[in-house]
Amino acid sequence: MTSVLSTPDGAASTDDAVPFIHHLIGGQRTLAHVDRWGAVYNPSTGQQSGAAPFATPADVDAAVLDAERAFAGWSATPPLRRARVMFRFKQLIEEHTDELARLIAAEHGKVVADARGEVQRGLEVVEFCCGIPHLLKGEFSENVGTGIDSYSLRQPLGVCVGITPFNFPVMVPLWMLAPAIACGNTFVLKPSEKDPSSTVRLAELLVEAGAPPGVLNVVHGDKVAVDALLAHPRVQAVSFVGSTPIARYIYETCAHHGKRVQAMGGAKNHLIVMPDADLDQAVDGLIGAAYGSAGERCMAISVAVAVGQATADALVERLAARVRTLKVGASASDGVEMGPLVTAAHRDKVAGYVDVGVSEGATLVVDGRGLRVDGHEGGFFLGGCLFDRVTPEMRIYQEEIFGPVLSVVRAATFDEALALADRHPFGNGVSIYTRDGDSAREFVSRVQVGMVGVNVPIPVPLAFYSFGGWKQSAFGDMNQHGMEGVRFFTKQKTVTSRWPTGIRAGSEFVMPVMK
Ligand code: NAD
């Protein structure tokens, strides 16, 4: 097998070979064309560990046509049998949780325990999809007109596509592929080129679970592969999760090509700390939500809004002590709370935002730049950073940083805090910490954000609810998983039927109405 090694600046060498990570098409590992590829790193060491071949439009075409061939048989497979594949898939994911978690950690950089949590949250979507015969039940009304019955049913769309981000290489693909496939579609997945090994392994488990060849194909690639998928006439629907500029592009391009689309984007999630909040609970919540997975979560909290100066002073003091003592290290090391960032380029981008915050006049209370981890000097590490006195016009407040950087904004009142979350262009998640039921209820009712927590720092809905933000955090009408996922991956048909033994109506030239 061909192998390549590249330096972080992209120069290639075959001296020190590292393996290509295969596509999975028709149930088989394949490499297709390898003229272009992306380097995959172990972020804890900074060493390249693999290379993702970039699919050409011809490779994409082969994957889509293979999925289309599989559609006839799979869509005709009774839902109960499709559910049995889901049950086996669930069992295999459980058996391989540790393997998947270690693959995630080795290429993403999150700590292994966190990666296990990711697998578990993805598994819950598969568990939900085990109930697909029930979820696909339609509606039936007898005698809507004399001798006439009416019913609705949900049918699969055909070949559906998923395009996923680096930060959840197992969970986010499962948000999409599990409902799509359980509903009777076939699926082509284009995972992130930065950490694709766990995604390919996951797809192999579905094949092992009994999904026929072509029901799930995985192709690696960059914009070239994505554009080929978006324009492909045989692709019926596209589910995307990633950054906002690309989400908007996917949404607009799919609309242009007449495809169904859901596109989830970036975030700037606020956590409001009211003066009556349990401060210990708020600090615990903030530390995990801001620095877990090195802040590389779309539901990470990146803004803490303290209501009142006394709340702010106490909050910053307690946060600073915790951020200074965060245990940062290699993702597979014991006792580590935060691993490295995904790539050197991303680490540098996040560190650049810390420079920006300093130049904008925010108070850098804890500076994680320049952190070295003994024995892992080449790793893409950045220590936890904490800013105080951040104001709404600053870039570090406006833009998504996607790293271990928490900004504290000081607000005078509840209304001011609420307005901050409301006016921010992103609207993915938000949380309030308070003991006051009135404030909490008013906040939940008024806030212009899609997912809301009350004394819960990361309000990610469980699999049987649906996931999705508002404003610049999501484009399209339907959210991920839960019943919204089932609706997105099916089209509704409504039937009105009469049998010849009924009343003979004769020809009617006026709009039919119930008599
Ligand atoms: P990204 O937008 O860079 O990449 C996402 C996918 O799009 C990848 O598969 C990538 O190959 C592809 N892509 C990248 N550039 C493209 C282009 N120009 N044309 C076509 N396709 C392109 O995102 P990322 O850095 O992998 O992931 C982090 C982002 O994802 C953050 O913004 C985060 O908030 C967001 N995210 C959102 C959610 C959510 O549900 N709202 C969940 C997870 C992550």
What ranges do the domains of the chain cover?
A: 23-265+473-493, 269-454
What number does the ligand 1 atom closest to the CA of 242 have? 30
Return the residue whose CA atom lies nearest to atom 9 of ligand 1. 192
What number does the ligand 1 atom closest to the CA of 267 have? 34
φ and ψ of 23, to 5 deg = -75, 165
Return the residue whose CA atom lies nearest to atom 21 of ligand 1. 223
How high is the pLDDT of residue 34? 87
Mark whether 298 is an active-site residue: yes
Could you tell me which of 351, 476, 327, 478 has the C-alpha nearest to residue 404? Answer: 351
Distance CA 63, CA 70 (A): 11
Q: Which residues line ligand 1 (CB under 6 A)?
A: 163-168, 172, 190, 192-193, 222-223, 226, 241-243, 246, 264-267, 298, 400, 402, 428, 469, 473
How high is the pLDDT of residue 368? 98
Residues forming beta bridges with residue 190, ordered by sequence position = 163
Place of tokens 């290290």: 329
Question: Over the Cα atoms of the chain, what is R_g?
Answer: 25
What is the 64 CA–ligand 1 centroid distance (Å)?
Answer: 21
Taking the CA atoms of 466, 467, 473 and 474 in sequence, report the sign of the dihedral they define: negative
What is the 416 CA–ligand 1 centroid distance (Å)?
Answer: 32
Q: Provide, rounded to the nearest whole percent, the portion of the chain with pLDDT above 90.
A: 92
Determine contact, residues 440/432, Cβ cutoff 8 Å.
yes
What is the 245 CA–ligand 1 centroid distance (Å)?
Answer: 9
The CATH architecture to which 23-265+473-493 belongs is: 3-Layer(aba) Sandwich (3.40)
In degrees, rounded to 5, the angle at the alpha carbon of residue 271 between the alpha carbons of residues 265 and 277 is: 160
Residues 368-397: tens digit of each pLDDT: 998 999 999 999 999 999 999 999 999 999
What number does the ligand 1 atom closest to the CA of 402 have? 31
How high is the pLDDT of residue 7? 38
Helix (H) or strand (E) holding 454: strand 451-454
Residues 182-196: tens digit of each pLDDT: 999 999 999 999 999
Q: Does the structural domain 269-454 have CATH classification 3.60.10.10?
A: no
Give the ranges where 361-499 is alpha helix by DSSP (H). 395-398, 414-423, 437-446, 482-488
Give the C-alpha distances (Å, rounded to integers) separating 30 from 55, 69, 235, 362.
11, 18, 21, 51
Query: Whole-model pTM above 0.85?
Result: yes
Distance CA 388, CA 145 (A): 67
Which tokens go with 309?
A: 């100066």
How high is the pLDDT of residue 499? 87
Catalytic residue among 129, 130, 183, 298: 298
Distance CA 316, CA 240 (A): 37
Mean pLDDT by 10 residues, the chain (515 residues): 40 62 96 92 98 97 98 98 98 98 98 98 98 97 94 98 99 98 99 98 98 98 98 98 98 98 98 98 98 98 98 98 98 97 98 98 97 97 98 98 99 98 98 98 98 97 98 97 98 94 73 76
Residues forming beta bridges with residue 217, ordered by sequence position = 188
What number does the ligand 1 atom closest to the CA of 474 have? 41
What is the 166 CA–ligand 1 centroid distance (Å)?
Answer: 7
Taking the CA atoms of 274, 280, 283 and 285 in sequence, report the sign of the dihedral they define: negative
Distance CA 417, CA 18 (A): 50
